[in-house]
Amino acid sequence: MATTPFAKPTIDRELETILASFDTSYVWNYGSVKEGLRDLYEKAKRDQWNGTTQLAWTTDVDPEGEIIPQSINPLASYGPFLKLDAKERARLRHAQISLQLSQFLHGEQGALIVASQLVGGVPWMDAKYYAGSQTMDEARHVEVFSRYLREKLEWEWPINASLKELLDATIRDGRWDFKYLGMQIIIEGLAMAAFGNLYQLAQEPLLKELLKYVMKDESRHVAFGVLSLRDHYRDMPANEMRDREDFIIYACELMRNRLIGDDIANAMGWNPAEVREVFLSSPPAQIFRKMLFMRIVPNLKKLGLLTPRVREAFDRLGILQFEDYDAEEADRQLGFL
């Protein structure tokens, strides 16, 4: 990434290949064996949508406008930010929103790959049905975020290194339940919280409508993970459970520690250590970094994965407070259920 002020980061390579290996299962029992999955699949079929025709792509979007309010900008009190003129601040707004949506885009491509893996790996036919529908959902999400970035913002950032690391770990792991944990529970849970935050803040109508459609899909995707993994960990041997605990702690620490402003600092030519300190002490950024986990913690509790080790780690991260958060009620209030 270039370090001159306002330089547009570019992706050096258009194609990257990684080696993934996992068991693929035929299922000769075509009946329902997991309660709730067939109903979820019916909802997925009912709620399909076409991003080409159902979103108002003719909407004019000012990429340097206040797509989200600048009152929550964590850099608002940072010295170099205060020295920017109006044009430079507009350019920074453009950089920040395009960075955020670029990470959404890259995460959705990762979800597309993992959903396609789940079609082969899951051991129940109902789960294969639903994973097939999710693969279509994720393709649509990649399509609409990519189009918004290309046509409206005209600025796409490379994937954040920490997000890439977690996607790679999830894609490469051969165990089907790790794919659920990495994607459906953790990454999709983070995405739902981030999408919900942006949906409530967004002042640009096309983006707001796009997020509404995507979030209805994502709400089902998280439920898919919870329903599929229900009771799976009940009698798991201690050594295997420790592998899951290690992965959960690693993934959550990785996702929390990536939100420190390094990408913006590098693009602006600012001191990354200074920007990191500003982000870590900013009340809006502190709230956002914790709020991202409000859906992950209660879902892990439902699955029996909020073990003493995980509890201790989440207490250190300051996110244990969300263990009884009612995500379904939040989705209902937003009109997604």
pLDDT one-digit tens code per residue, 134-176: 999 999 999 999 999 999 999 999 999 999 999 999 999 999 9
Give the per-residue pLDDT at 337. 59
In a domain, 71, yes or no: no
pLDDT at 123 over 80: yes
The secondary element (H helix, E strand) that includes residue 265 is: helix 262-268
Sequence-distant (≥ 6) Cβ neighbours of residue 233 within 8 angstroms: 241, 244, 303, 304, 305
Residue 178 to residues 11, 23, 56, 288, 328, Cα–Cα distance (Å) = 29, 12, 38, 26, 23
Give the per-residue pLDDT at 3. 38
147 C-beta neighbours (distance < 10 Å), count: 16
In a domain, 275, yes or no: yes
Give the per-residue pLDDT at 283. 86
In a domain, 8, yes or no: no
Give the per-residue pLDDT at 2. 38
Q: 90-115 pLDDT, tens per residue?
A: 999 999 999 999 999 999 999 999 99
- CA dihedral over 83, 207, 290, 233, signed as positive or negative: negative
Give the per-residue pLDDT at 12. 52
Reference 163, options 96, 224, 217, 111; nearest CA is: 111
In a domain, 69, yes or no: no
> Is residue 8 very low, low, confident or very high in pLDDT (cuts 50, 70, 90)?
low
In the chain, how many domains are there? 1
In a domain, 24, yes or no: no
> Is residue 4 very low, low, confident or very high in pLDDT (cuts 50, 70, 90)?
very low
164 C-beta neighbours (distance < 10 Å), count: 16
pLDDT at 71 over 50: yes
In a domain, 284, yes or no: yes
Q: Domain residues for 229?
A: 37-46+81-334
pLDDT at 305 over 50: yes
Sequence-distant (≥ 6) Cβ neighbours of residue 328 within 8 angstroms: 337
> What does DSSP assign to residue 184?
I
pLDDT (mean) for 238-246:
97
pLDDT at 335 over 90: no
In a domain, 285, yes or no: yes
CATH number where 290 lies = 1.10.620.20
In a domain, 63, yes or no: no
pTM score over 0.85:
yes
Reference 297, options 331, 252, 260, 330; nearest CA is: 252
Determine the distance from the C-alpha atom of residue 29 to the mean position of all C-alpha atoms in its chain, rounded to a whole number: 33
